Chain A
Amino acid sequence: MKLPESLFSRMFLAYLPFMVYPYGFFKAGVAALWIVLFLWITVAFFWFFRRFFPDRSLKCAFFLWLIVWAQAAWTLTKLPPYWIASVFFLAPVSFLEETAKPGHVRVFSREVPRYFFERVLAGTGFAGFVMLLALVREIGEKRLGMHLFEQPAGMFLVIAAVAFLWKNQPYRRRG
């Protein structure tokens, strides 16, 4: 099975705001896990409660939710709010569109496991991606003393290599 390109796009775009954090491997891992946990909470919350919001105010509610939680995380842990941009890129933004009609999907329908599986995959992939890049940054900057990793260029070049491998991954048929 070939991993979809859209998954890489999500992980990559979600990583860019995360890149602003000057964290080492451990702190980056903790912050990434918080983002993934929050993403899953957000997805579950809006899946079950979106029908209580009017269609037009859903997007507004989503951003208000992000701002309030960014404030809460800042108050409790002093985590700068760049992480909400990562959540935004990982979340399925299509559900915020006014044309989307959530009422037609029942809570206990067959679509639920597939929907949540994609979100779980995106979250797990993002956490793995962040940890891989944090490890590369740690090794490149601190162990090898490469100045390239003190600026975004180093990360972009590593991501370019990952993107190349992802794009040209071999297709394997099942069975």
Chain B
Amino acid sequence: MYFLIISFGFLLAMRGARPAPLQKPVEGLKRIGREATDLFLTMSLILALGAFATAFGKSPLIAREYAILGPGLAAYLLSRYQKKTDVFFLAVMAGVFMISSERHGLVQGIFGAGVVSAGIALFQSCFLGLRYKLLFSHMPVSMRGWPNLCLLAGFISLVLWSLGSLVF
């Protein structure tokens, strides 16, 4: 799950609908919070719909058989309804699939959605803060762009992993 949080956190930070503005970090943090809440609510709603579907007759078998088609369609429709980007839809789909394949029960699933959303928000906040700090540094041209962004993502990932292993 940690790989999913970091991967899609990075993708949403780079290719999200309304990427957090670097010039105004406070505004960016608010936006990250809103996006994470949207992600959590969308994933929770799909998990709840899945739990509702499996509660009836033969549908558990069908729901297990079509573990991607149903949640995928729901994720796409909900993302379109919210006018979110394609990366948001892909993140929701991947998150729902991973949570539903790892956890059993709706409450555990919603908890998992909360962990994924909070993790993505934390990663994006750290990423935004470090990028903001780097705006005022004299970075060599050869390091600008992807090399710099990958290094930042790597260091954040390392720190969050260490903190996580200390806490849990």
Interface residue tally for chain B (C-beta within 8 Å): 41
Once the chains are docked, how many angstroms separate the CA of A166 from the CA of B144?
Answer: 12
Please tell me if B69 contacts chain A, counting CB pairs below 8 Å.
Answer: yes
Once the chains are docked, how many angstroms separate the CA of A13 from the CA of B86?
Answer: 14
Once the chains are docked, how many angstroms separate the CA of A50 from the CA of B134?
Answer: 44
Assess the A167–B68 pair: CB atoms within 8 A.
Answer: no
Contacts of B65 in A (CB 8 A): 75
Contacts of B52 in A (CB 8 A): none
Stretch at the interface among B6-14, B19-27, B42-50, B103-111: B6-14
Once the chains are docked, how many angstroms separate the CA of A148 from the CA of B86?
Answer: 31
Please tell me if B72 contacts chain A, counting CB pairs below 8 Å.
Answer: yes
Stretch at the interface among A24-32, A38-46, A79-87, A99-107: A79-87
Assess the A71–B72 pair: CB atoms within 8 A.
Answer: yes
Assess the B155–A153 pair: CB atoms within 8 A.
Answer: yes
Chain A, 35-91, CB within 8 A of any chain B CB: 60, 63-64, 67-68, 70-71, 74-75, 80-82, 84-85, 88
Please tell me if B146 contacts chain A, counting CB pairs below 8 Å.
Answer: yes
Stretch at the interface among B32-40, B54-62, B89-97: B89-97
Assess the B7–A163 pair: CB atoms within 8 A.
Answer: no
Chain A, 74-132, CB within 8 A of any chain B CB: 74-75, 80-82, 84-85, 88, 93
Please tell me if A152 contacts chain B, counting CB pairs below 8 Å.
Answer: yes
A146-171 contact mask (Cβ, 8 Å, vs B): 1 or 0 = 00100111111101110110111000
- Distance of A114 from chain B, by nearest CB (Å): 25
Contact of A153 among B72, B146, B147, B157 (CB under 8 A): B157
Contact of A81 among B4, B97, B157 (CB under 8 A): B97
Closest to A15 in B: B7
Closest to B90 in A: A85
Assess the B72–A81 pair: CB atoms within 8 A.
Answer: yes
Assess the B154–A67 pair: CB atoms within 8 A.
Answer: no
Assess the A156–B157 pair: CB atoms within 8 A.
Answer: yes
Contact of B158 among A64, A71, A85, A151 (CB under 8 A): A151
- Distance of A79 from chain B, by nearest CB (Å): 10
Assess the A80–B97 pair: CB atoms within 8 A.
Answer: yes
7 smallest CB-CB distances across A and B, nearest first, come from A156-B154, A160-B150, A67-B72, A163-B146, A153-B158, A153-B157, A164-B147
* 7 pairs, CB–CB < 8 Å, chain A vs chain B: A13-B14, A20-B7, A80-B101, A81-B68, A148-B158, A157-B154, A160-B148
